[in-house]
Amino acid sequence: MRFIIKIFILMSLTMSALYSGDFLMPDEAFKPYAKVNENAQIQTGVILGKDIYIYAEKMSATLKGTTLKIKETQKPVSVDHEGEQVYTLSPEFILTLENPENLSGVQKFTLVLSYQGCSEMGLCYNPYVKEFPLSLDVSKLSPQTTQTTPKSSQVELSESDAIADTIKSGSIGIILLTFLGFGLLLAMTPCVFPMIPIISGVIVSQGEGLTTKKAFALSIVYVLSMAVAYTIAGVLAGLFGANLQAALQMPWVIYSFSLVFVALAFSMFGFYELKLPDSLVTKVSSGSNRGGYIGVAIMGFLSALIVGPCVAAPLAGALVYIGQTGDAVLGGMALFSMSIGMGLPLIAVGVSAGKFMPKPGAWMTMVSAIFGVMMLGVAIWMLEKILDPSIIMIMYSILGIGFSLYLGVFEKDHHFFKHSVAMIIFIYSISLFIGFLAGSSSMLKPLGFLNQPIVVQGVASQELKEISFEVVHSIEELDAILAANKGKKILLDFAADWCTSCKELEEITFADADVKAKMSEFVLVRADVTKNTQKEKLLSKKYGVFGPPALIFFDENGEVKKAKTIIGFIAPDEFLAHLNTL
Amino acid sequence: MKTIFLLLFIFISSLSAKVEWNDMFDVFDDAQASNKIVMVMLSREGCPGCEYMHNVVFEDKKVNKLLNDSFLAVDLDVNQDFVPQNLEYFATPTFYFLDKNEKILKRLNGGLHIKDFIEVLQELNKHKEEE
């Protein structure tokens, strides 16, 4: 088709004036030049004669006879000319140089400019290679060019490497404070949310006679044990270079943890009281109330499982530091400080749960029940990592229906507020149920299948243009894809089914229309490390990934752009801005 | 049915006679025998002028009849084929017309439209007959 169009264009060109034999001779058609400008950059280009154009891919500039290197070539914008990219206006390249061997003084070298072009009259000139002897004062190179292109002169570090470096160079106090800050920031992410019902539930389950002081103490115990577990897991992961989450995500661990929550939930419903066996309690402590503390400590310890999957740059930074230096003490302290930061808001939650705990009575029963339902929700949430989404959906649905019935959705003598809440939960749960029957797996849009456009397939497939990843599980598979896509930009996404932040990335960031459009410029590869097999471990290790999500970018030459690595969740607009720098 | 297709095929192919391209290697032997003028076209891939000559000019019935009757045409891709040293070019397409003794009769830089190209061919032909 393109061929026919070409012929057509050729035929329709104003050929009468053409092919008259009055062609420009090569030296009239192309006037090449090269010079060094005041910013120590090389400007080189070709002044084109009338109706002359140059093929964009056939024009290049290289250096000869020097160890100076071209760091960056700024090229003009090419235009489409009968299916080829060409320069129709005299093109100029601006070359920014770098000095890897640290030469000094004025350096002489040769600039080699090659190009090939045609005349609109239908004549194509031979390719030309022109050499220009140039000289350049090297001392002008680095500082000034740094100013024009501030980003590329220093060795760039990814965020997590930069954090690792901070630990290396910073004083202990600053490090701990910084990580406390990181922790506080992380506390605002969805990773920590499931811990809110846990801590409140644990406090409330202490029952009557709970003082604010005790609530505070319990919360601290909870957060401390969470932090300790988290730190231990982190240090081990850092030392052994293992995948932290995978260690915390063994299915049996998750099942048992989930069961703990179910048990807790039923105790909230008042089926029984959850207490350590009396004999054990008396053994462990002499005091009467210590059992509560131990239970809370166990809860906190297990809760590290929940924050484990939240890999963010600071965590990775601390792990990289531990991995690189083997210094588990300082790295561990940083991690501990971070988890305390994550826990601080939880302490506040715990204390207020204790403080505002209602007096025993009907209200108390209601509040306990609500926490029980939340606990069951957390139990299902834990299972989300290892079970099929549709199963999770039906579980939530049943939970919701049960809860709304408990609230009395069909009874008339309730306060209208309670009734509405019950009704909303009921309707949503029913939608989940219907969604499950219809094969939907989205919790947010269980009835999304109703919305599917019924249009001509061709149109529909265009509208529903989804980004798709090539999935790999090993270094070999990845290398094959890298080799096959030389010359293209590649995005490698480390992900796993059990990784919460990966789901966020997928459902929020990658679902954004602008992001999708931009991402289509990349070859998309997904390293699926769900099973954490030996091969998957090696793959993670090769790219220094402690756990998903991690986004790694390769340039056109298949080199990793380390500075561009993203660890953890990133919001759509930030991600878009990041992609635009690539 | 088959015969209809066959007839149709013959009919169509007779309509669109093609320029017969020769091999540079022995084209001058043929020229000695037939006393035809050798036309060497120097072209390269992706050159719009070359495509125009092939897809438009050489597809013209009158052009390809003239070429097939009185010329021996050779097409050399400057990037792939060996180009004799005396056939200089700075661009493609470039046409050389040579007699049987490999003497250059005419050099044409760039292509021509059908009408002009026929004129060139006819002039060369006339010139040869006058000799």
- Examine residue B78 and state whether it is found in any structural domain, yes or no: yes
The minimum CA-CA distance between B111 and chain A, rounded to whole Å, is 6
pLDDT at A409: 76
Among the residues of A269-388, which ranges form H helices?
Answer: 278-284, 290-307, 313-325, 328-355, 362-383
Assigned domain for B43 exists:
yes
Does residue B101 lie within any of the structural domains?
yes
Residue in A with minimal Cα distance to B107: A21
Task: Kindly list the residues from chain B whose CB atom is less than 8 angstroms away from the CB atom of residue A6.
Answer: 48, 51
CA distance B109 to chain A (A): 6
Chain B residue with minimal CA distance to A4?
B55
Q: Contact A123/B110, CB-based, under 8 Å? A: yes
Residue pairs between chains A and B whose CB atoms are closer than 8 Å: 72
**Superfamily of domain A467-580, CATH level 4:** Glutaredoxin (3.40.30.10)
| pLDDT per residue as tens, chain A (582 positions) | 444 454 444 444 434 334 445 677 888 889 899 888 888 888 999 998 888 889 888 899 988 888 888 888 888 888 887 777 888 888 989 988 888 877 777 888 889 999 988 888 778 888 888 888 888 888 777 544 433 333 333 344 566 777 777 777 677 788 788 888 888 887 777 667 777 777 777 777 666 666 778 888 888 888 888 888 888 877 777 776 555 556 566 677 778 778 877 877 777 776 665 554 455 444 444 444 555 677 778 778 777 766 555 656 677 777 777 776 667 777 788 888 888 888 888 888 888 877 766 666 666 677 777 878 888 888 888 787 777 778 888 899 999 888 888 887 777 766 778 788 888 888 989 888 888 888 776 777 777 767 655 444 444 444 445 678 888 888 888 888 888 888 888 899 988 876 767 777 888 888 888 888 888 888 889 988 877 677 887 888 788 777 778 889 988 888 888 778 888 788 888 888 888 887
Residue B91 lies in a domain: yes
* Closest-CA distance of chain B to residue A125, Å: 4
Q: Could you give the C-alpha distances from B31 to A96, A394, B72, B82, B84, in angstroms and in order? A: 57, 87, 7, 19, 17
Give the residue, A503 or B118, on which the prediction is more confident. B118
Residue-level pLDDT at A19: 46
Query: Which one is the CATH code of A2-148: 3.20.20.370, 2.60.40.1250, 3.40.30.10, 3.30.70.60?
Result: 2.60.40.1250
Is there a contact between B50 and A124 if contact means CB atoms under 8 Å apart? yes
| B11 within a domain of the structure (yes/no) | no
For residue B84, name the pLDDT band (cuts at 50, 70, 90). Answer: confident
Residues 6+ apart with CB under 8 A from A153: A71, A98, A142, A145, A146
Q: Is residue B7 part of a domain?
A: no
- The per-residue pLDDT for range B42-82, each reduced to its tens digit, is 998 888 888 888 888 888 888 988 898 889 999 999 888 88
Buried b (16+ CB within 10 A) or exposed e, A193-215: ebbbbbbbbbbbbbeeebeeebb
Query: What ipTM goes with this model?
Result: 0.74
Residue B86 Cα, gap to closest chain A Cα (Å): 16
Name the residue of chain A whose CA is nearest to B57's CA. A11
User: Across the interface, do A10 and B52 touch by the CB < 8 Å criterion?
Assistant: yes
Q: Which of B41, B52, B94 to mutate to test the interface with A (most CBs of A within 10 A)?
A: B52
Specify the 3-state DSSP secondary structure of A541: helix
Calpha distance B58→A468 (Å, rounded): 47
Give the closest of A25, A26, A122 to B52, CB-based.
Answer: A122
Identify which of B46, B91, B110 has the shortest CB distance to residue A19: B110
Question: Which of A19, A25, A84 lies closest to B116 in CB terms?
Answer: A19
Residue A352 has what pLDDT? 81
Enumerate the residues of chain A whose CB falls inside 8 A of the CB of residue B111: 19, 122-123
Q: Quote the pLDDT of residue A228.
A: 87
Residue B75 falls inside a structural domain: yes
Q: Residue B112 is nearest to which of A7, A10, A19, comparing CB atoms? A: A19
* Nearest alpha-carbon partner for A161 in A314, A326, A310, A309: A314
- B93 to chain A: which residues are within 8 Å by CB? 122-124
**Mean pLDDT, residues B88-117 taken together:** 88
DSSP state of A327: -
What pLDDT is attached to residue B75?
Answer: 92
Sign of the CA dihedral with B30 first, then B34, B38, and B43 last:
negative
d(CA A473, CA A364): 51
Mark out chain B residues that contact chain A at CB-CB < 8 A. 44, 46-52, 55-56, 78, 89-93, 108-113, 116
What is the least distance, in Å, from the CA of A133 to any CA of chain B? 25
Count: domains in chain B:
1
* Class of residue A493 by CB neighbours under 10 A (exposed 0-12, middle 13-18, buried 19+): buried
In whole angstroms, what separates CA A205 from the centre of its chain? 37
Query: How many Å apart are CA B43 and CA B94, to the nearest integer?
Result: 7
Candidates B44, B89, B111; nearest CB to A122: B111
**pLDDT value, residue B97:** 92
Q: Is residue B3 in some structural domain?
A: no
Cβ-based contacts of B88 with chain A (< 8 Å): none
Reading the block at residue A1, the tokens are 């088709």
Residues belonging to chain A with any Cβ–Cβ distance to chain B shorter than 8 Å: 6-7, 10-11, 15-16, 19, 21, 23, 25-26, 55, 82, 84, 118-119, 121-126
Evaluate whether A310 touches A234 at the Cβ level (below 8 Å): no
pLDDT at A202: 73
| Structural domain for B63, as ranges | 23-130
Triad A176, A178, A182: Cα angle to 5° = 115
pLDDT for B9 beyond 70 = no
Which residue in chain A is spatially nearest to B89 when comparing CA positions?
A: A126
Task: Tell me the CATH number at B56.
Answer: 3.40.30.10
Per-residue pLDDT at A518:
85
Domain ranges of chain A: 2-148, 160-358, 467-580
